[in-house]
């Protein structure tokens, strides 16, 4: 990487793994990578994945698959979900789920790029309601 290369403020901060059988997926990923997967205290049917990496390494979530074809979703930190949703659409992408609050944590939106890949935008905001 060139020293002159501009560092992006948009970093991967979270991922979600959908599963048809969450217990089976928990066992698979736990044994494969040594991840610790435990129920998320404030969200039923959702588990926190502790990847055990350094603080800067993203952790994730494990949840029941919501629709056929749902794949792993990567969450990318942005300064404004609203602004980046507009950029997604301007560049030919689509908004699959509009800006949604995670109370006390922030906002997210699920998007689709021009190649039909799903990703999420994440904005930290402790005042989210």
Query: Please, are residues 99 and 54 in contact by the beta-carbon 8 Å criterion?
Result: no
pLDDT at 4 over 70: no
Residue 64 bridge partners (DSSP): 19
Class of domain 78-129: alpha beta
Given 3.90.180.10, 3.10.180.10, 3.40.50.2000, 1.20.120.450, which CATH number is that of 9-73?
A: 3.10.180.10
pLDDT number for residue 74: 97
| Arithmetic mean of pLDDT, 37-64 | 90
Decide if 9-73 and 78-129 have a common fold: yes
Q: 28-49: string of b/e by CB count within 10 Å (b at 16+)?
A: ebeeeeebebeeeeeeeeebbb
Query: Please, are residues 104 and 82 in contact by the beta-carbon 8 Å criterion?
Result: no
pLDDT at 1 over 50: no
pLDDT number for residue 115: 87
pLDDT at 55 over 90: no
pLDDT number for residue 12: 94
pLDDT number for residue 20: 95
Domain boundaries, the chain: 9-73, 78-129
């Amino acid at each position: 990487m060139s020293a002159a290369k501009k560092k992006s403020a948009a970093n991967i901060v979270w991922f979600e793994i959908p599963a048809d059988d969450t217990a089976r997926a928990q066992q698979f990923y736990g044994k494969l990578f040594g991840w610790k997967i435990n129920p998320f205290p404030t969200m039923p049917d959702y588990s926190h994945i502790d990847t055990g990496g350094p603080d800067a390494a993203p952790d994730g979530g494990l949840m029941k698959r919501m629709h056929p074809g749902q794949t792993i979703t990567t969450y990318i930190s942005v300064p404004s979900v609203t602004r980046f949703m507009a950029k997604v659409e301007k560049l030919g992408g689509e908004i699959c789920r509009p800006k949604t609050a995670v109370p006390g944590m922030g906002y997210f939106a699920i998007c689709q790029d021009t190649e039909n890949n799903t990703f999420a935008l994440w904005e930290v905001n402790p005042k989210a309601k």
